[in-house]
Amino acid sequence: MNSSFWTVVGFTAKNKIRGKAFLITTLIIAVIMSIVINLPYLISQFSGEGKPKPIGYLNSQSESLSSQLFTSTRIASMLNDYYAKQEKPELKLVPIEDAGSADANEKALKQAVADDVIDGYIEFSPGKESGFPAITYKSESLMESKVSSSLSTALQVVKMEAVIGGGGLSEEVKALLTKPIELDTVQISTVEGAGSIGQGKTKEQQGMDFGTVYVIIIMLFMSIMISGQMIASEITAEKSSRVMEILITSVAPLKAMFGKIFGMFLVVLLQMALYVVVIIVNMTLPHNSDKLGDLGISLSNIDPVLVTYALVFFLTGYFLFATLFAAVGSIVSRTEDLGQAVLPITMLSLAGFYICIFGGMNNPGSMLMKICSFIPFFSPYAMVSRLGLSDPPLWQVWLSILILLATILASGWLSAKIYRAGVLMYGKKPSLKELGKAMRAYK
């Protein structure tokens, strides 16, 4: 391969990297990724999620003197004890003094919410069957699922502790009854698959694999969409400005096409590497690493076998779609017609992405995923999902790779013929008959 190929590669890569649009777009995407990764932390800082949420209740003096097991003041006190034992208390019960009547009490509770003393309040009413009262949580916010879920769990614990405490049981028996059950999940494989499950993967390793697959699939989709559009648009722009007529007098059409594909691959590789660095840097920030540490997830748990296979499918998937985008770009003379021309290829990539994100991530062993693993336009997504979340047989993985390589060779050959014939075809988009005739003329 002579220097003309590398000249095209270097020109394509340098021209794109130096472009302001590319630099600004890359920077904006990097900033957006940083914001998304740190969004939970930013929300917690502005919304005060680190502090316990104040919840009001009516502090009735008559109930505090009652000998009943379950009164509002006694339940509120037990709830406060429950949340006080948490490392980061979720809620805090705030007493609102009894105003003397039901209407006055309701008004006082609502006024406390309006004055931001409390975020909401709980009301007690007689229970239907058990001696435990029915409890209603009221607030201005819609769908307070986090608060209601926390209260439901806490009230269940409080009820159980009160009943156990009234039964005259010893502290040892109480501790035994209230001790949480330890349940671990381990992923196993019944066959000698291509993955690295081996004797099993822990819950933390499974979570790391899930996150890795998710990131890889998004990265592959982004690289295909970004590079494909750049390849097609650059070729079309060169045709519309008549630069192509000068270019092919110095470089053979095939070298020009594959030079552009490889040059754009280097650009995308640099861009994806930058995004990976952005992800790693943001994930290792103290507030994010602490959260991951609490979940038992560490970057050291990334599966090297999964990453190796992912790189193989990333490269094959990229070159498959890149050759198709180059072919389509060569037959379009006007940039305004490019979007419609590349739509079928874009839909193919989008279909593979959606199948894996919304179907394969939850059920990687389904028949749909197995079939998609052997369809070359979908297999880069499907097989990465299966390798990360299950353990497909080794022969299926290599068969998928071989089908992909064969498809790349076929699409490369077909795209080369289309490119060679299409780069000098101007005017309206050629019909299939006209394109076939031109391709036969360039044997």
Dist CA 224 CA 14 (whole Å): 20
Q: Which of 350, 357, 389, 392 is nearest to 371 (CA)?
A: 392
Q: What is the largest distance, in Å, between two alpha-carbon atoms of the chain?
A: 101
Contact predicate 257/418, CB 8 Å:
no
Q: Taking the alpha carbons of 31, 33, 37, 40 in that order, is the dihedral positive or negative?
A: positive
pLDDT band of residue 441 (cuts 50, 70, 90) is: very low
Dist CA 271 CA 276 (whole Å): 9
**pLDDT of 119-150, one tens digit each?**
888 888 876 666 678 888 888 876 677 888 88
Give every CB contact of residue 428 below 8 A, 6+ residues apart in sequence.
333
Q: What is the pTM of this model?
A: 0.68
- Tell me which residue has tokens 């209603």: 136
Q: Which of 113, 51, 59 is nearest to 86 (CA)?
A: 51
pLDDT band of residue 404 (cuts 50, 70, 90) is: very high
**pLDDT of 55-84, one tens digit each?**
888 887 666 555 566 777 788 888 888 888
Give every CB contact of residue 79 below 8 A, 6+ residues apart in sequence.
91, 93, 151, 154, 155, 158
Q: Supply angle C-alpha 216, 218, 223, rounded to 5.
A: 95
